[in-house]
Structure 1
Amino acid sequence: MIRILHSVSNMDRAGIETMLMNYYRHIDRDIIQFDFLCNKTKPGAYDDEIKQMGGRIFHSPGLNPVKYSKYLTYMKEIFDTYPEYKILEAHNGALGVYALYAAKMNCIPHRIFHAHGASITKDWKLPIKLVCKRLLPYNMNIHYSCGVAAAECYFGKKVVEKEDFTLIPNAIEVDRFIFNTAIRNKIREMYCLEGKRVIGHVGRFMAQKNHAFVLEVFAEIYKKDKDMCLVLLGDGELFSEMKQKAVNLSIEEAVKFIGNVSNVNEWYQAFDLFILPSIWEGLPVVGVEAQTSDLPCIFSSSITKEIAITDKTKFIDLNEPIDTWVTEIQKSLTNTIRKNNEALITKCGYNIKNEAKKLEERYIKLYGGANENRNINTSVHK
Structure 2
Amino acid sequence: MDKPIKVLQVIPQLGLSGISSVVLNWLREIDTQCVQFDFICFNDGQYREELESKGCRVFCIPTFRQSPLAHIKAVKEILLSPDGKYDVIHVHNSFKNFVMLSLAKKYRVPVRVCHSHTAGLELSWLAPAFSLIKSLTKRFSNQYVACGEKAGQFLFGDAPFIVLNNAIKVEKFLPSKDLADPVAAVFDKYHLPKDKKLVLHVGRFSEVKNHQFFLTLAISKQLDPDLHFVCIGDGPLKENFAQDIIETRQQHRFSLLPANNDIPLLLHAAQAFVMPSLFEGVSVAMLEAQAAKLPCFVSDTISLEADMGLSLVEFLSLERPNEWIEQLNYLQEKNLEDDDVKQAFRHKNYSIDAVVGQLVDLYQEGLKAR
What is the TM-score with the length of structure 2 in the denominator? 0.90
Measured after TM superposition, the shift of residue 195 of structure 1 is 3.7
Which position in structure 2 is the counterpart of 1:183?
179
Worse-superposed segment, 352-361 or 298-307: 352-361
What's the RMSD between the two structures over aligned residues? 2.1
Deviation at 1:184, TM superposition (A): 5.3
Which residue is 2:332 aligned to?
Answer: 334
Q: How does 1:93-242 map to 2 (within 5 A)?
A: 93-156=94-157, 158-159=158-159, 164-183=160-179, 186-188=182-184, 190-191=186-187, 192-220=192-220, 224-242=223-241
Q: Which residue does the alignment assign to 1:304?
A: 303
| Separation of aligned partners in 1, 2:62 and 2:183 | 41
**CA shift at 1:103, angstroms?**
0.6
Matches within 5 A, 1:25-44: 25-38=28-41, 40=42, 42-44=43-45
Cα offsets for 1:164-198 (capped at 9, x unmatched): 32221110011011122553564246415434211
| Shift in CA distance, 189/107, structure 1 to aligned 2, threshold 3 Å | closer
> How is 1:273-288 mapped onto 2 (pairs within 5 angstroms)?
273-288=272-287
1:196 and 1:229 in contact (8 A); partners too: yes
CA displacement, residues 201-231 of structure 1 (integer Å, 9 cap, x when unaligned): 001111111111123213327x643322111
Alignment check: 8 A CA contact 1:95 1:133 kept: no
1:11 aligns with 2:14: yes
> Are 2:7 and 2:38, in contact at CA under 8 Å, matched by a contact in 1?
yes
CA–CA separation in structure 1 for the residues paired with 2:149 and 2:215: 30
Q: Secondary structure at the match of 2:314?
A: strand
Counterpart secondary structure, 2:125: coil
CA distance in 1, matches of 2:180, 2:267: 8
Give the secondary structure class of the aligned counterpart of 1:220: coil
**Aligned-residue offset at 1:59:** 2.5
Offset of 1:122 from its aligned partner?
3.9
Q: What are the superposed Cα offsets for residues 248-296 of structure 1, whole Å, 9 maximum, x if unpaired?
A: 2222123111211112111111111100010111111111111111111
Identity among equivalent pairs (%): 26
The question of whether the paired residues in 2 share the 8 Å contact of 1:294 and 1:338 is answered with yes
CA distance 1:176–1:136, change in 2 (3 Å): same
Q: Is the 8 A contact 1:188 1:194 kept in 2?
A: no
Deviation at 1:14, TM superposition (A): 0.5
Which residue of structure 2 lines up, in the alignment, with residue 375 of structure 1? none
| CA distance 1:189–1:47, change in 2 (3 Å) | closer
Whole-angstrom CA distance in 2 between matches of 1:171 and 1:252: 35
Q: Report the counterpart of residue 316 of structure 1 in structure 2.
A: 316
Residue 108 of structure 2 aligns to a residue whose secondary structure is coil
Between the two proteins, the alignment pairs up a number of residues equal to 359
What code does the residue aligned with 1:72 have?
Answer: I
Gaps of 5+ in 1: 371-377
- 2:351 is matched with 351
Change (3 A) 1:267 1:190: closer
Partner of 2:247: 248
CA distance in 2, matches of 1:83, 1:98: 18
Moved over 4 A (4+): none
Contact 2:272 2:296 in 1 (8 A): yes
**Shift in alpha-carbon separation, 1:185–1:330, aligned structure 2, 3 A:** farther
CA distance in 2, matches of 1:57, 1:207: 29
Structure 2 counterparts to residues 261-280 of structure 1, below 5 A: 261-280=260-279
Letter in 1 for 2:298: F
Shift in Å at residue 43 of structure 1? Answer: 1.6
Whole-Å Cα distance in 2 between the matches of residues 139 and 62 of structure 1? 18
The answer as to whether partners of 1:179 and 1:339 remain within 8 angstroms in 2 is no
| Aligned residue in 2 for 1:89 | 90
- 1:31 deviates by 2.4
Q: Which moved more, 1:68-77 or 1:255-264?
A: 68-77
Structure 2 spans left out of the alignment, 5+ residues:
none
| CA-to-aligned-CA distance 1:30-79 (integer Å, 9 cap, x gap) | 221211111x2x32221111111111111333121x74344333322222
- For the residues of structure 2 that align with 1:209 and 1:131, how far apart are their CA atoms? 26
Amino acid at match of 2:361: E
Decide whether the 8 Å contact of 1:147 with 1:169 is kept in 2: yes
Q: CA contact under 8 A between 1:7 and 1:99: conserved in structure 2?
A: no
Report the residue type matching 1:241 in the other structure: N
Q: Distance in 2 between matches of 1:179 and 1:2?
A: 37
TM-score (norm 1): 0.88
